[in-house]
Amino acid sequence: MTGSDLDFDRVAVVGAGTAGRGITRALAQVGIEVRMIERTEDSLARAERGLREAMERDLGRWALTESERDAALSRIEGTTDLDAVRGLDVIFEAVREDPKEKRVLLAELHRRADDRALFALNTSTLSISGLAEGLPESRQRRVIGMHFLHPVTRIPLVEIVRSRYTDPETEAAARALASRMGKEVMEVAEYPGYLTTRLTLTLINEAVHVVMEGVATRDAVDRAMRLRMGTRLGPLALADEMGLDSVQRALQSLWKELGLSQFRPAPLLRRMVSEGWLGEKSGRGFYRYDETGRRLPVDEDLAEPDLERLLSGS
């Protein structure tokens, strides 16, 4: 099996949360037909609405034309039927960072997928080898990690992670698919957090501590880091975009695996998640957002005073 042997024109993405929607859109925008699979009709409807709203925001930023949007959406077929993976050569897994849930899903996909199908796992903290352990040896060779960075359509990088079972042909196919998507490949060792997640989470968690300890305000932290690093978003705005619950889960996973104090989720982050402040997707995080996920202007943004009340315990 080589990259040229596989059909990259029709693929499946299982899981349509933030990561799954980003992967789906990135695939569709380079001409690939995607079956986007979600667990329930309600979650599928939310995912499809989220895709459209994200594209509408990019229309306003001149990052996408109407014809490009319509063409991409026409290539996406939403379904709740896991049997939709049958006959496809590439299946992306993009459910939440829960090893048990991922293993159960992989077993279900194995029963339905063709023998030659490549399984691309989008995990930022979990062991690819560990997730593949319960599969037959022939399937284990077809499993590889492809960790896309958020937002997937804007970050031209994907981390390729081989497990101890992955064969060279599977890696070659994953690289060919990444190239088709316009991504630069960074091969990283199978180690908790890999490269980008480990560094990004360290920065986000420390930024939360800085705000919590009163060293600087939310706005000062993000502005300083944007200016210092030349990035589109500061670490707190990035955390909102990623989802604060997702950030917390990833930090907890690394803290458990590595035992390093920098990955222990900051108390402020824990409290925000417990209050339902999950970032862009819930309308409130370190910043506030409207129903389309657009950040509110500064004069309408009450999140920073709310943070002060949360910090004071009131």
- pLDDT tens digits, one per residue of 145-181: 999 998 899 999 999 999 999 999 999 999 999 999 9
- pLDDT tens digits, one per residue of 201-243: 999 999 999 999 999 999 999 999 999 999 889 999 999 999 9
Cα–Cα distance, 168 to 171 (Å, whole number): 5
The arithmetic mean of pLDDT across residues 117-129, rounded, is: 94
Report the percentage of the chain scoring pLDDT > 90: 77
- pLDDT tens digits, one per residue of 65-122: 999 999 999 999 999 999 999 999 999 999 988 999 999 999 999 999 999 999 999 9
Q: Which residues of the chain are in CATH 1.10.1040.10 domains?
A: 196-309
Q: Which residues of the chain are in CATH 3.40.50.720 domains?
A: 3-187
Cα–Cα distance, 44 to 131 (Å, whole number): 25
End-to-end CA distance of the chain: 60
Residue 63: pLDDT above 80? no
Residue 161 is predicted with a pLDDT of 96
- More confident: 4 or 26: 26
CA angle in degrees (0–180, nearest 5) for 115-117-122: 135
Confidence of residue 64 (pLDDT cuts 50, 70, 90): confident
Q: What is the CATH number of domain 3-187?
A: 3.40.50.720
Report the percentage of the chain scoring pLDDT > 70: 93
Residue 308: pLDDT above 70? no
Cα–Cα distance, 297 to 22 (Å, whole number): 25
Confidence of residue 290 (pLDDT cuts 50, 70, 90): confident
CA distances from residue 127 to 105, 120, 162, 169 in whole angstroms, order as listed: 15, 13, 10, 20
State the architecture of 196-309 in CATH terms.
Orthogonal Bundle (1.10)
Residue 177 is predicted with a pLDDT of 96
Cα–Cα distance, 130 to 134 (Å, whole number): 8
Residue 314 is predicted with a pLDDT of 47
Residue 176 is predicted with a pLDDT of 96
Residue 311 is predicted with a pLDDT of 64
Give which of 225, 155, 147, 231 is closest to 193, Cα–Cα: 147
Work out the mean pLDDT of the chain and round it to a whole number.
Answer: 91
Residue 203 is predicted with a pLDDT of 97
Cα–Cα distance, 24 to 181 (Å, whole number): 11
